[in-house]
Amino acid sequence: MHRDVDTDADQFLEILAWPARDRRERSRRSAGTRMSRLHLVGVGVVAAIVAVTIGGTAFTITNPADRAVASAVTRELLIVTQPGSPDVGGSPSASATPPAKPRPVAGLNQAAMDNAVAIVEVGKQLNLPRRAYVVAIMTALQETGLRNLANASVPESLKYPHQGVDRNFDSVGLFQQRPSQGWGTAAELMDPPTAARLFYNRLSRVSGWQTMSVGDAAQSVQRSAFPRAYDKQRVRAEQIVAAIA
């Protein structure tokens, strides 16, 4: 009888203790839930900071399965802000320094060298051989010293960038091309790339220009009163083309 009383007493005490244990268990679960919510709040703060940092990109975390998921998301958010990320820093070439201009050679200044570069670049665009560049450069050297010249007799030419003013019929630009002879407008002839293209177009129409001397090729285009004058510029022209091409 004494054992039964003890057993009943134990069971009674167990029943009385159950609510307390249940409250403690619920308390632990509640604390864990609060920690998870705090963790997610922290993730949300990180997301907000990242969004501001990278220009307002939105991140949404929907019902993560557990803390491991939230932590993984946090790590991903932090990764996108690392230096060099394509989402933040752009392509590596965006900050690349543009290639330096070729330095002047053969007694040219930088402006004349820039004009030479423009002539050669147009020749490349037209898929012309190196010999054509030499013909064009030696022509511009003889005509203007590779300066883009306006003409006081052609008032319109003075409105465009130029490196000097001359007065020779109505000749303008690097090659001293004449609007009155059908070369183009003053605006076209005062633009170095356009003037070079017009020169190459006429050179390409000269039969056999590839095999004749470069001086004769230049004269076939220019029809100068001094046909042998171009030949003396050949060495300088080859030096300039070598420095550019």
Please write the tens of the pLDDT for every residue from 147-198.
Answer: 999 999 999 999 999 999 999 999 999 999 999 999 999 999 999 999 999 9
pLDDT at 211: 96
pLDDT at 102: 92
Is residue 136 predicted with pLDDT exceeding 80? yes
What burial class does residue 143 get, using C-beta atoms within 10 Å of its C-beta: 0-12 exposed, 13-18 middle, 19+ buried? buried
Q: What is the pLDDT of residue 100?
A: 83
**The pLDDT of residue 79:** 43
* Res. 126: pLDDT tops 60: yes
User: Which of residues 25 and 199 earns the better pLDDT score?
Assistant: 199
**Structure confidence at residue 75 as a pLDDT band (50, 70, 90):** low
Q: What is the pLDDT of residue 219?
A: 97
> Contact 136/123 with Cβ under 8 angstroms?
yes
Cα separations in angstroms, 1 against 4, 10, 13, 14, 15: 5, 14, 18, 20, 21
Q: Is the pTM of this model over 0.85?
A: no
Percent of the chain with pLDDT over 70: 61
Mean per-residue pLDDT, 27-51: 46
- Of 28-42, 52-66, 228-242, which one has max mean pLDDT? 228-242
pLDDT at 124 over 90: yes
- pLDDT score at 29: 59
Q: Copy the structure tokens of residue 54.
A: 């990278």
